[in-house]
Amino acid sequence: MLETRPIFHQRDATIRGHVFCSFLALVLRKALLERLEAAGQVPEWAEMIEDLEALQEIEVAHQNKRFRLRTEARGTCGSVFRAVGVALPPTVQQIREVNKED
C-alpha cells in the first residue's frame, strides 16, 4: 500500500500531478536499483546521490573557441551511468567557435 502525507495544493489537478511525480520518482528509483543490482553494484543511495551531484559541467572560451568541461566521474557515478546504458560525455569537448558578438 502506498501512503502519502498531507499535500498542500489548492487544486485537484495539482494534487494529482504531485502524486504522479512522486510515484514516477519511486518507479524510476526502483528501476535504477534493479539495473545496478543486475550489474553487480549495490551502492548506498546517499553515496550515489552525492557522487551524482558532484558531477558538473561548464562552458568556457579559450583562444576563440568554446569548450564544455566536465568533472571526473567519482565514486559510484560511473557505474550508475553504465547500469542505465548512458555514456558520459567527454571530459573536454569543443562545442563551437566564439563569435565576436559573444
pLDDT in tens, 30-57: 999 999 999 898 889 999 999 999 999 9
Which residues fall within 8 angstroms of residue 38, CB to CB, at 6 or more apart? 83
68 inside domain: yes
Contact 9, 18 (CB under 8 A): yes
Which residue range(s) make up the domain with 19? 12-97
Burial 86-96 (b: 16+ CB within 10 A, else e): eeeeeeeeeee
**pLDDT score at 30:** 93
In which element (H, E) is residue 4 found? none
> Does position 102 have pLDDT exceeding 70, yes or no?
no
Instruction: Tell me, yes or no, whether 6 lies in a domain.
Output: no
The DSSP element (H or E) to which 79 belongs, if any, is helix 77-83
Mean pLDDT of the chain: 87
Q: Is residue 54 part of a domain?
A: yes
High-pLDDT (> 90) share of the chain, %: 52
pLDDT at 15: 84
In a domain, 80, yes or no: yes
Task: Classify residue 85: in a domain, yes or no.
Answer: yes
Which residue has 569548450 as its cell numbers? 67
With CA atoms as reference, report the closest residue to 3 among 32, 23, 21: 23
Kindly state whether residue 22 falls inside one of the protein's structural domains: yes
CA 22 to CA 87: how far, in whole Å? 27
